[in-house]
Each structure stands twice: as C-alpha cells, then as structure tokens.
Structure 1
Amino acid sequence: MLSVRKKNSTAKPIVRSLWCIRLRWDGGGYPRGIGGKSIALEARIVAVVDVFDALSHDRVYKKAWDMDRVLDFLGEERGAQFDPQVVDMFLENSRALIDISLSMPDESRCDLFPLYDNMDVRDRDEMLEVSLSLSEV
C-alpha cells in the first residue's frame, strides 16, 4: 500500500498527480470535477506528457500517431483539456522533448493509468484522502 501520511512526504506530488491526471483544465473530467489552477501544477504537467506519450507510441489497442498530429492535438486541446501555459511550454520545447522521448526504449516508460486502474479500492480511497488534504497545502 502507498503510504504518504508524513507531512513532508516526497510521494505527495506523485499521489497528487495520479489522482488528478484525468481532470481537465475546463473543469470536466473526474474524479473531482475541478479545473484550472485548482488542479495541482504537477498533475497539469503530467496530463500533457502522458497524452503526448500515449499518442506518440504504439499501444496494444492503437498505432502511434505521427508527430505533427500529436502536436496539433495538444494545441487543439489547449485551454480545454490542458493548461494553456503547460501546452505552450511543451510546444516551445517540443523538439528537445521529442528527442528525449525517442531516446527512451518502451520498456523504460511507465503507463500511469494501469497503475491506478489496477489499484485496490482501499488504496484509491487513501489516495482520495491524501489528495483532498493536499489541496489545502
């Protein structure tokens, strides 16, 4: 079980990101239905990077999109699904980020959703508890 009960735990940003990754900048998404700057910054960054990674690499259920299509999608979702400033910074640095992504073998990457989806419901409840308390930090 993931334990982040200590006040200054280094796991807090990770837990906060995992819990908020399916939120949207425009307030849609779940589980909490919050939006904008109410979403933790690290979660807003992880959301962009995770979608970039998912779209630009083959998955068992889909083929990778070409890079222009991926970058266009991020731009289209700027201000809707994603924090506009995070998208702008990502796109401004996309060449370097693409190079980093391409240099990493698939085995070294981590898909966050299966980690959350396969989690025991008690652990999810603990994540919710921690996430709600972190929103006050």
Structure 2
Amino acid sequence: MVSPPGDKVARSALSSLIHGMAETKQALLSRYVKRNGSSASIALLYPHIKANYECLYVCQLPFLDDLKQYQFPPIAPTNPATRKPFIPTAEQVDATRARSSTSSGITTSKTRSDHLEIYLPMKRLWRMHKMQ
C-alpha cells in the first residue's frame, strides 16, 4: 500500500505510520470493505522500508466463516485394487537409492556465478542480476 501520487500530505502521514511501525516492530490488523455493499475483509499490514521507497505490504487474512472444513477419508494402508499393503520390493528400494545418489543436485563448480547461472534461464536476466 502506497500513498496516492502527488499527495504530499498523505505521503508524509503514511511515511510517519510506516516508520513508527518499523521502529516498534509492529504490524497492523485492518478490517476493510473493498466496495459498497460487499462483505468486510481482514488484512495484515506490515512495513517495508528501502532506500528509495517505503510501503505497507498487505496480506489478506480469512475470516473463520471463510475457512471450510473438509472431511478426508482415512489413508488406506493397502492398495484397493490388489488388497495388498503398499510395501516396496527390495528391487524398488535399490532403484530409488541408486537414483537418489546419482541425482543429488550437487555440482562440482567452485564459483558462485556458476551456481547462479544454473538457476537463471536467460542470459539477459543473468546480466541484470549481476549488475545489482
């Protein structure tokens, strides 16, 4: 949540609120209505301050009425198709162990940039990330 652009009074008031909340390490619980005639909502607002901007993050919370209770059937210890228990065979256990040891995800690369390059899909993003 930010103040309206060009409104210096609102920006100053919101900035004071954000800094006060950040200094005292507090969050704000808010009840609001989005449109006339709609039902009320609850939100958690917490401050976020950076060098060039400040804002309140808004996290909408559910009312107790919004939560639905689902009844799930118990987890069956047997396979309903065969009426046999779900017990892996020795061959399946060995195959799983072999697969986990070969795909551990650990690389032998020594530099941090090589590790990051694996997770960034495009070179343009990599260059932009490197500049920050």
Q: Place the TM-score, normalised by the shorter chain, in its bin.
A: under 0.3
- Which one has the largest radius of gyration? 2
Query: TM-score scaled to structure 1, two decimals?
Result: 0.21
Greater relative contact order, per chain length (Cα 8 Å cut-off, separation 6+): 1
Relative to its length, the structure with more helix (as a share) is 1
Q: Which has a greater percent of strand? A: 2
**TM-score, length-scaled by structure 2:** 0.22
